[in-house]
Amino acid sequence: MSAPALPEGVAVRPVDTPADLSVISGLFETCDLVDVGHRDHEDDWIADSWASPAFAGGWVAERDGEAVGYLELEWHEPSRAIDTFLLVHPLERERGLRPALLGLQETAAQKLVPGLDLVRSTGSASDPTLAPDCEGGGYTLARTFWHMERSLEPAPEPQPVPPGVEIRPADREGDDVVLYEVLEESFREHYASEPRTFEGFLAEYRSTLQNRSLALIADVGTDPAGVCTLLMPDRVGWVGELGVLPRFRSRGIGRALLLAGFGVLASRGATTARLNVDGQNETGATRLYRSVEMDVRREFSVFEKAFGAAG
């Protein structure tokens, strides 16, 4: 079965990084204004995704020289699953562009990934055409991710940590390895988690690791128990990853790390804290975030399609 054709007048080309940053940023903003009523992205996120070792290519769809679609692939070698993000201009959502780009992503994924098993495609849940287009292409809804947030005004007061726990910046010799190993073990069983190499981790967290106050480690005695990574692209602070080793869970360590992270972000001028979480997270993360006054501000849907033996 051949992939759906592009709408008449639309052409696709590879993204030119970093020259296309303003082009793709403009498309994000146009979609954000329709989907959620305000600009909801940072240019740094786009640039960082292009610089990531997992970036596996991107394509721009254009009509009359204007960007009307964007497709990005992410692959953690040697996984046989690939992740994509697909953005479609609101005026093109009823014209068949997304089905054509879904076909393009499948072709690209099958060329890139030996023995491809699965494609996971993410889009804004506020786009009413996302689900019909994906389901029409043989995809099924697998997960909903939430962007959650809380105000940091006034700045949160320091909170006591659980007995026997120390929370500190990741500024000691060997802490890069601690961060890497704790996060890899903490997220091993999470949905769509893919193993990272140490080198890939360092590349992904280069900006955080340049400022050691943006990475926190919780120690129990001499043993690392959990970590929290932070990002500060603007006056909005982000919790990158929060992980507690299974044997140390249910002790309040995750909550203590999160509150300490809020304090760090507020001290650096952040007025809001946000994070991204799997809405069906099995470890109780969403309950934790609600307990510290975080609310859902936006949803993203992940659709899956199986290939090869998995199909």
DSSP helix/strand/coil, 113 = coil
pLDDT of residue 222: 95
Per-residue pLDDT tens over the stretch 68-120: 999 999 998 889 999 999 999 999 999 999 999 999 999 999 999 999 999 99
Domain spans, the chain:
10-138, 149-299
Q: Which overall architecture, per CATH, does domain 10-138 show?
A: 3-Layer(aba) Sandwich (3.40)
pLDDT in tens, 256-298: 999 999 999 999 999 999 999 999 876 678 899 999 999 999 9
- Using one digit for the tens of pLDDT, what is the confidence trace for 137-149? 999 999 999 999 9
- Predicted local confidence at residue 210, as pLDDT: 84
Q: Using alpha carbons, select from 90, 101, 103 the residue that is nearest to residue 129.
A: 90
The closest of 276, 226, 232, 278 to 254, measured between CA atoms, is: 226
pLDDT at 214: 94
CATH code at 149-299: 3.40.630.30
Residue 61 pLDDT: 98
Please name which of 158, 283, 148, 166 lies closest in space to residue 220, comparing C-alpha atoms: 166
DSSP code for 80: S
Q: DSSP string covering 81-99, please?
A: EEEEEEEE-GGGTTTTHHH
Residue 189: band (very low, low, confident or very high) from pLDDT cuts 50, 70, 90: confident
Is 149-299 the same fold as 10-138?
Answer: yes
Query: Among residues of the chain, what percentage have pLDDT more than 90?
Result: 79
pLDDT tens-digit profile of 47-65?
Answer: 989 988 899 999 999 999 9
Identify the three-state secondary structure at position 192. Answer: coil
Mutual angle of helices 21-35 and 43-51, in 10-degree steps = 130
The chain-wide mean pLDDT, for the chain, equals 93
Q: Which whole-number Å values give the CA distances from 292 to 128, 240, 264, 277, in the listed order?
A: 31, 17, 15, 14
Helices (H), the chain: 21-35, 43-51, 97-112, 130-136, 175-186, 198-204, 206-210, 253-267, 285-291
